[in-house]
Structure 1
Amino acid sequence: MPRFRVVVADFLADALAPERELLGDIADVVALNATSEADMIGHIETADAVMLYHNIAITKETITRLQNCKLIVRCGVGFDNVDHRLARTKGIPVANVPDYGTEEVADSAIGMMLTLTRGINFFNNRLQRKSGDWSYMQGTPLVRLRGRVFGVIGLGRIGTAAALRAKALGMDVAFYDPHKQDGYDKANGIRRVEKLDDLFRQSFVLSVHCPLTEETRHIVGARGIGLMPDGSYLVNTARGATVDATAIPAAIRSGKLQGAAIDVLPIEPPLADHPLLVAWRDPADPCYDRVILNPHSAFYSEEGLLDMRVKGAQACRRALLGEPLRNIVN
């Protein structure tokens, strides 16, 4: 039987031990470590399967050149960086790995919430640069979390995991997800909110967990934030463009938001002149103490990273051997 060729498009260099352990008996595994789609020209056309992470996109330019591809697997949850609709017309299945980082992202969302709502980041920043008194009074008022509304946009695997963690803290958990079937609210002991605006109005903490689609692009923006209670908090560990991050500085300055924690931005690394970065880096701006930015790291643990790689390679193996595919998104 001829050997297959599996191309790892981005994110990983040539340390491919997990992938080669799973695929080495049937395929050669090559890492391109591409930083743009153009980097793959001349290297990806003969791939029998493609593993894609989040550093680049695969568009018509690449898909139309694929000659033998039996699967594109997005080694992660979100799949907005691959033109899965076009791939379908070319007979190429696109799959994702929806479960690899569920615990890590949910833990990060709750950790960010606690860091904001308990003033942990705020106090640390102020004291570190000797700004203000060595006193809790710098951060008043902070309020008890029990009974406060933890609003979830998108009750998928990660949204559910975050909801259950917030529920364990005694919070009143509400979610908005028009695509979720009835009964998940009762099964998890949480509340469904039928209208997104109502979730905005109720949420002391709003945590975003939806995929990026045309429906969810900027699902949280200036208008929605404006409906939230004064002194509320925003957390985004989903996809960068689900939140219009340019609306955050004004909301922080006005007191509408008491804090925001953002793990993902539409362009990563972000441009230095992004309004949120400019405000976050300015010691004279309230965002300096009240905004937390992370480098798209909520997914990461050593175990989660290995899961992502192993599950992606397993998906390729099934495709190459003609076995039933799982987690197909197109």
Structure 2
Amino acid sequence: MPERFRVVITDLIVEPLNHERAVLDEVADVVALGAMRESDLIGQVENADALMVYHYFRLTRATIDRLRNCRVIVRPGVGYDGIDIAAARERGIPVCNVPDYGTEEVADSAVAMAVTLARGSHFLNSRLRRGIGQWNVDQAAPIFRLRGRRFGIIGCGRIGTAAAMRAKAFGMQVSFYDPYLPDGVDKALGIHRSESLAELLSTSHLVSLHCPLTAETRGMISANEIRQIPRGGFLVNTARGGVVDSQAVVDALADGHLAGAAIDVLEHEPPPEDSPILAAWRDPSHPAHDRLLLNPHTAFYCEEGCEEFRTKGAREVLRALQGQPLRNVVNA
């Protein structure tokens, strides 16, 4: 009998590993470490033939340089900023992702949160539950009709495009800023292309982020950019926490420049107890409290989607173990 491969799932996913084993059981043993930090991997991954890595920590050169047999590192998700892809490339290890899972769910979540904020639903729910204000709409006014409002998208890839289609269904005018897309995408989608980030921000009533976290996008939305959004606008981030300055969001909510913000992703997850955005969200006396909606990085989630990213991630591992062409290499 040929020797079996060893596939290690570093974090997030634990037993039962039914989806992964359904794909890999004939060729590999699959183990899950349930690690919460990179140091938990020491002595556990060095002989792995493949790694499946999620998002509880960053997989750095220190770990990658210890891998002796690894044929592939798979990120069973879209974003791969948590893996040192350059270090893996230097070692000849391809890094792959699952770029199409969660497209619908993240777009649904982004537009749902935007609408919840813009319709005043979150604000009124937060206030009235604490017995603040009259049992009517007055304290949430002014609320404007969604139809005709400008929905601005930063990053119009798979998820950004799906969000655009959903915003259009509400009758909103949609703009996007994405300098890496070819000409004509705007015409194909029937939406407006902004030539600069400043143009998009200054003309959008609702801004939704759908870009990856890179050296270029880290900190891209800071206090200066938030001030370019018209007063009374809304900001939604289901992309990556490091793209947005969370302190600047809290400040803009507190002084009323932003009427609301929905944040699904933070730079550190879970956030430290001294996080300014966590403090504002938990403190009913904070002026940003009622206008801030936080989720724990769950915009991607649905039962069908979990099966999809786990199965597709395992299939990419199988292709690598069997020497077949890989489908989604991000560090070629």
Q: Shorter-chain TM-score: what band?
A: over 0.9
1:1-330 matched pairs, under 5 angstroms = 1-330=2-331
Measured in 2, the distance between the counterparts of 1:319 and 1:184 equals 34
Measured in 2, the distance between the counterparts of 1:97 and 1:205 equals 28
Once the 2 structures are TM-superposed, how far is the Cα of residue 274 of structure 1 from its aligned partner? Answer: 1.0
Once the 2 structures are TM-superposed, how far is the Cα of residue 92 of structure 1 from its aligned partner? Answer: 0.1
Once the 2 structures are TM-superposed, how far is the Cα of residue 284 of structure 1 from its aligned partner? Answer: 1.5
Once the 2 structures are TM-superposed, how far is the Cα of residue 34 of structure 1 from its aligned partner? Answer: 0.5
Once the 2 structures are TM-superposed, how far is the Cα of residue 9 of structure 1 from its aligned partner? Answer: 0.6
Once the 2 structures are TM-superposed, how far is the Cα of residue 183 of structure 1 from its aligned partner? Answer: 1.2
Measured in 2, the distance between the counterparts of 1:250 and 1:6 equals 45
Once the 2 structures are TM-superposed, how far is the Cα of residue 276 of structure 1 from its aligned partner? Answer: 1.2
Q: Number of residues paired by the alignment?
A: 330
Measured in 1, the distance between the counterparts of 2:262 and 2:309 equals 24
**1:12-40, CA deviations, whole angstroms, 9 ceiling, x for partnerless residues?**
11210110111000000010110011101
Structure 2 gap segments, 5+ residues each: none
Amino acid at match of 1:26: V
Once the 2 structures are TM-superposed, how far is the Cα of residue 286 of structure 1 from its aligned partner? Answer: 2.4
Amino acid at match of 2:158: R
Amino acid at match of 2:54: Y
Measured in 2, the distance between the counterparts of 1:182 and 1:7 equals 42
TM-score (norm 2): 0.98
Measured in 2, the distance between the counterparts of 1:249 and 1:154 equals 23
Q: Bigger shift: 262-271 or 12-21?
A: 12-21
Measured in 1, the distance between the counterparts of 2:275 and 2:30 equals 38
Measured in 2, the distance between the counterparts of 1:57 and 1:280 equals 27
Runs of 4+ displaced beyond 6 Å: none
Measured in 2, the distance between the counterparts of 1:5 and 1:232 equals 51
Measured in 1, the distance between the counterparts of 2:192 and 2:328 equals 28
Measured in 2, the distance between the counterparts of 1:228 and 1:214 equals 23
Measured in 1, the distance between the counterparts of 2:18 and 2:69 equals 24
Once the 2 structures are TM-superposed, how far is the Cα of residue 283 of structure 1 from its aligned partner? Answer: 1.2
The 3-state SS of whatever aligns with 1:178 is coil
Measured in 2, the distance between the counterparts of 1:57 and 1:326 equals 23
Measured in 2, the distance between the counterparts of 1:319 and 1:118 equals 48
Amino acid at match of 1:113: A
Measured in 1, the distance between the counterparts of 2:106 and 2:218 equals 20
Amino acid at match of 1:102: T
Measured in 2, the distance between the counterparts of 1:187 and 1:277 equals 40
**1:40-95, CA deviations, whole angstroms, 9 ceiling, x for partnerless residues?**
11110111111011112110111000011111011111100000011001000001
Once the 2 structures are TM-superposed, how far is the Cα of residue 228 of structure 1 from its aligned partner? Answer: 0.8
Once the 2 structures are TM-superposed, how far is the Cα of residue 279 of structure 1 from its aligned partner? Answer: 1.4
Structure 1 gap segments, 5+ residues each: none
Q: Bigger shift: 272-281 or 219-228?
A: 272-281
Once the 2 structures are TM-superposed, how far is the Cα of residue 246 of structure 1 from its aligned partner? Answer: 1.0
Measured in 2, the distance between the counterparts of 1:4 and 1:246 equals 46
The 3-state SS of whatever aligns with 1:87 is helix
The 3-state SS of whatever aligns with 1:111 is helix
